[in-house]
A and B are shown apart, each in its own frame.
Chain A
């Protein structure tokens, strides 16, 4: 299957700082990537859809100025959590579909666990 890689896997930061998470498709091009957040024992929550070369589409209730998404190339999307606070501590996961097929399976990155002190 296709490979999606996320970095970093773990990050601890102080409140008020910004954290950048990278998501790369290693062996395929992804015009669209998806960013999720998951709190313990809860479902995946779609935060935004990242589109290569254009603005991301954010889900209702997700602050676009706080969660900056940049999809600069067909293999890289970044999520920056700006001015992070303890309530932003969560498991952030990116995913992508191969070939842009809308019904294709999603390949997920390993996830990034953010802890804000």
Chain B
């Protein structure tokens, strides 16, 4: 079957760094997306990885290891507005995104 494993909730301090891990199992693989979703709002795109390695985009970076079925999202210099759910969504062989429940990130002052 297809599944995604992310921590349900994480807490971090403003200004710090946090890493959100994601392991996945899919039927085929066509890349992995990370989305941010604030409470009551629709998801917004953060990153897309299709090759192994680290992709850096400002304060956010995303890493992928296809052989391990593993990805992480790294958030630096955390701000209060980063409090949100972070969704790891791999894409299977049919180009369908597989969605987990996401990781709720709580930022404390």
Binding site for B on A (CB under 8 A): 1, 6, 41-46, 91, 93, 95, 102-103, 105-111, 113
Contacts and interface: CB of A to CB of B under 8 A. Distances in A.
A93 B40 CA distance: 11
A107 B87 CA distance: 14
Contact of B41 (A41, A45, A103, A110): A110
Contacts of B27: none
A91 B40 CA distance: 8
Interface residues of B, number: 20
B95 A102 contact: yes
Nearest to B96: A46
Contact of B44 (A42, A102, A108): A108
17 contacts: A41-B101, A43-B87, A43-B99, A43-B102, A44-B99, A93-B43, A103-B31, A103-B48, A105-B33, A105-B45, A106-B33, A106-B43, A106-B45, A106-B97, A108-B44, A109-B42, A110-B42
